[in-house]
Amino acid sequence: MTMLKTRSEEEVVMLVDAEEEEETESDEDESESEEISIMHYASSQKILLVGEGDFSFSLCLARTFGTSYNIVTTSLDSLEMLGKKYSNGVENVRELEERGCIVIHGVDATEMSQHYFLSTQRFDRIIYNFPHVGFMFPENSSCQIEMNKRLVTEFLRNAKLLLTKSGEVHVSHKEGQPYSQWNLAKKAETIGLRFHLKVPFRRADYPGYSNKRADGFFADESFPLFPASTFIFHLDDISA
């Protein structure tokens, strides 16, 4: 007959103490790597920002997370042009880089999937705030509307190629006429992205963010955002 060896009281106490020590260490580790979130974005996500103006939106995320090693942020402007257009642009870029962010200049949103670095990456969130080709015609003219529609369509086509399987593309833009004529949801559907959700965009939700006109003599000035929304898209078949 096999005899079961029982543990002494001292052994049990030592075991409990050891387990409690392990749990405490585990809790400390979890605390150190705790996820930090702001609105739809979290420090655990790999985030790509496209078409940034003075990079203040990117910096808002970076400051919230504490670091920005999870962020890649891009702009069509060169660093030299950034300094000419925006009073805080270069300063914002410097802080982003100090926080670990990858900042890339001269990135065209309509061709970004072919970029030598971006083409090797996949992102959980791809963000384009207030896409616009610039003020070449009156805002409500058919030419201006068609140019903006082409911009967002080609952006979505490229973003689709850079998403993780469960990733999301976020496009924020103004509501009402003529912006409703951009038909974001329909454009996305034609290239295999599924419209998931529309949520209000409020600048106050992103401390430090300053949206910019980004074009012409008043490039550094903001424009009214209300009403504006963020349109969220998924891959058409996220199980694929």
Interval 151-168: pLDDT, tens: 999 999 999 999 999 999
Please compute the mean of the pLDDT values over residues 60-88 and round it to a whole number.
96
Q: Where are the alpha helices (DSSP H) in 50-200?
A: 56-65, 79-85, 89-98, 142-161, 184-190
Q: Of 190, 204, 209, give the one whose Cα is nearest residue 54.
A: 209
Q: Under a CB-based contact definition with an 8 Å cutoff, are residues 220 and 175 in contact?
A: no
Fold that domain 37-235 belongs to in CATH: Rossmann fold (3.40.50)
The ranges assigned to domains in the chain are 37-235
pTM greater than 0.95: no
pLDDT tens-place string over residues 164-201: 999 999 999 999 889 889 989 999 999 999 999 999 99
Average confidence score pLDDT of the chain: 87
**Element at 44 (helix H, strand E):** none
Percent of the chain with pLDDT over 70: 85
pLDDT tens-place string over residues 124-135: 999 999 999 887
Please compute the mean of the pLDDT values over residues 112-120 and round it to a whole number.
98
Residue 175 burial by Cβ neighbours in a 10 Å radius (0-12, 13-18, 19+): middle
